[in-house]
Amino acid sequence: MTIFSRLLTALSLVLALSLIAPAASAQVNPTESSVNEDALFQALGTSPVAGRVTIPDANAGYLIKPENKSWAALQGQTLHTLSIVAVVGMIAILALFYLIRGKIRIDSGWSGRKILRFNAIERFAHWTLATTFIILALTGLNLIIGKSVILPLFGEAAFGTLSTWGKIAHNYLAWPFMAALVMIVLLWIIHNVPNKVDLEWIKQGGGLLKKGVHPPARKFNAGQKLIFWSVVLGGAALSYTGIMLLFPAEAGTAADWQFYQTIHALVAAALSAIVIAHIYIGSVGMEGAFDAMGSGEVDENWAKEHHALWVEEVKATQDRNTKQVATPAE
Ligand code: HEM
């Protein structure tokens, strides 16, 4: 090491210490033995390690804030565990449900007659919402549990690439997700207002638990209304907190930003668990259900068993339209 580089190192050390010293020196003995991280935090209590800055952003003067440590612990431990419990727990419950109840069949069998359930615009909104949500959920989950689950399995290089692209996808796919969320609110809110038909549906457990039980329902039953409102309110909470995280300058202080981040992660974990249950019932869990969002047309017997009142409404509208065509205006 040349004299010049030694001088430079010494100068940097003096500068760094002078930045920390004003706040720390009041409470900590700046000797070798006390200046290790744990001792420093113990001595500081909740006071931050700060120096002085002359630029307008006073936050730039903070080297370490102990409260950020508790936020990091909340991330690394509590939210980490909660996210895993929510997702794995729901998958375990559904696997158990499948073992006990099996696939919910069309009791009266396929009729071969079709009835239009969702038009192309509704299906476009649903699949935009669904694909963006699934990618957002997986890339978000990677931020919380990736380091402990993905990194050991696939190694640093793969985890690094996945996380970099995942973050970009997360930031950009949030926008089509929000647009699709607005679309499903506009398209379906009218069918999701709770009414007294829902009480009967709930009383009979939605017919999900026993074979041959089919409580009447209109376009959406009480279970679907629960999914709809969870997606809409949860999605709105995720959108608001997500925008705050994307634009931290709008979020307020660092503590506000941490609050938004915690709510974002909690709502995401809860909504992911709910959506996993929805995906199960809309695919492998119920015979004939997927067609509603696949081709848009469902079997008439399926519709009569799960949405009898809606079938009556559709038939009544069709009859009215046929009569109008048959009686031309004078
Ligand atoms: C592969 C994944 C998915 C499949 C197979 C699926 C399937 C379905 C089906 C078949 C329906 C119509 C049910 C009916 O006819 O009554 C539906 C409705 C709906 N889906 Fe999905 N879906 C998926 C993912 C998602 C995701 C990720 C979300 C939201 C984030 C979502 C939100 C909704 C909502 C709000 C409804 C209307 C309410 C309801 O039927 O529960 N779906 N989905």
pLDDT score recorded for residue 32 = 61
17 C-beta neighbours (distance < 10 Å), count: 14
Q: Are residues 293 and 322 in the same domain?
A: yes
Which is higher by pLDDT, 13 or 139? 139
**pTM of structure:** 0.84
Quick: pLDDT tens for 240-266. 999 999 999 889 888 899 999 999 999
Ligand 1: residue whose CA is nearest its atom 26: 130
Both tokens of 73, joined, read: 């612990």
Which is higher by pLDDT, 66 or 148? 148
Q: What is d(CA 202, CA 296) in angstroms, rounded to the nearest whole number?
A: 26
Q: Are residues 121 and 219 in the same domain?
A: yes
Q: What's the gap in Å between 279 CA and the centre of ligand 1?
A: 6
Q: Which atom of ligand 1 is nearest to the CA of 235?
A: 30
Ligand 1: residue whose CA is nearest its atom 40: 224
Q: What is the mean pLDDT of the chain?
A: 88
**CA angle centred on 279, ends 98 and 88, rounded to 5°:** 65
As a whole number, mean pLDDT of residues 46-65 equals: 77
pLDDT score recorded for residue 283 = 97
155 C-beta neighbours (distance < 10 Å), count: 10
Q: What is the CATH number of the domain that holds 297?
A: 1.20.950.20
Q: Are residues 50 and 188 in the same domain?
A: no
Q: Are residues 201 and 304 in the same domain?
A: yes
The pLDDT-based confidence of 131 (bands split at 50, 70, 90) is very high
Q: What is d(CA 288, CA 299) in angstroms, rounded to the nearest whole number?
A: 7
Which is higher by pLDDT, 135 or 33? 135
Q: Are residues 79 and 29 in the same domain?
A: no
Quick: pLDDT tens for 280-301. 999 999 999 999 999 999 999 9
Q: Please check whether residue 13 lies inside any domain of the structure.
A: no
Q: Please check whether residue 247 lies inside any domain of the structure.
A: yes
State which residues form the domain around 276: 67-326
Q: Are residues 293 and 149 in the same domain?
A: yes
Ligand 1, pocket residues at CB < 6 Å: 117, 126, 129-130, 133-134, 184, 220, 224, 227-228, 231, 275, 278-279, 282-283, 289-290, 292-293
Q: Are residues 110 and 176 in the same domain?
A: yes
Q: Please check whether residue 9 lies inside any domain of the structure.
A: no
Q: Are residues 189 and 52 in the same domain?
A: no
pLDDT score recorded for residue 154 = 94
Q: Which residue of 126, 136, 272, 281 sits with most ligand 1 atoms within 8 Å of its CB, as the best mutation to test the pocket? A: 126
Q: Are residues 309 and 185 in the same domain?
A: yes
Ligand 1: residue whose CA is nearest its atom 14: 292
Ligand 1: residue whose CA is nearest its atom 34: 228
Q: What is d(CA 82, CA 269) in angstroms, rounded to the nearest whole number?
A: 7
Report how far apart, in Å, the C-alpha atoms of 137 and of each of 125, 131, 143, 144, 298 are: 18, 10, 10, 11, 29
Q: Are residues 178 and 268 in the same domain?
A: yes
Q: Which atom of ligand 1 is nearest to the CA of 307?
A: 16
Report how far apart, in Å, the C-alpha atoms of 90 and of each of 40, 76, 80, 274 are: 43, 21, 16, 8
Answer whether 48's CB lies under 8 Å from 65's CB: yes
Which is higher by pLDDT, 75 or 201? 201
104 C-beta neighbours (distance < 10 Å), count: 19
Quick: pLDDT tens for 163-193. 999 999 999 999 999 999 999 999 999 999 9
Q: Please check whether residue 215 lies inside any domain of the structure.
A: yes
Ligand 1: residue whose CA is nearest its atom 16: 220
The pLDDT-based confidence of 15 (bands split at 50, 70, 90) is very low
Q: Please check whether residue 96 lies inside any domain of the structure.
A: yes
Among residues 64, 80, 112, the one where a domain terminates is: 64
Q: Please check whether residue 16 lies inside any domain of the structure.
A: no
Q: What's the gap in Å between 130 CA and the centre of ligand 1?
A: 7
Task: Please count the structural domains in the chain.
Answer: 2
Q: Are residues 136 and 46 in the same domain?
A: no
Q: Which atom of ligand 1 is nearest to the CA of 232?
A: 35
177 closest CA partner among 215, 140, 213: 140
The pLDDT-based confidence of 61 (bands split at 50, 70, 90) is confident
Q: Are residues 41 and 97 in the same domain?
A: no
Report how far apart, in Å, the C-alpha atoms of 61 and of each of 20, 25, 67, 252 are: 9, 15, 16, 17
Q: Please check whether residue 6 lies inside any domain of the structure.
A: no
Q: What is d(CA 78, CA 83) in angstroms, rounded to the nearest whole number?
A: 9
Q: Please check whether residue 142 lies inside any domain of the structure.
A: yes
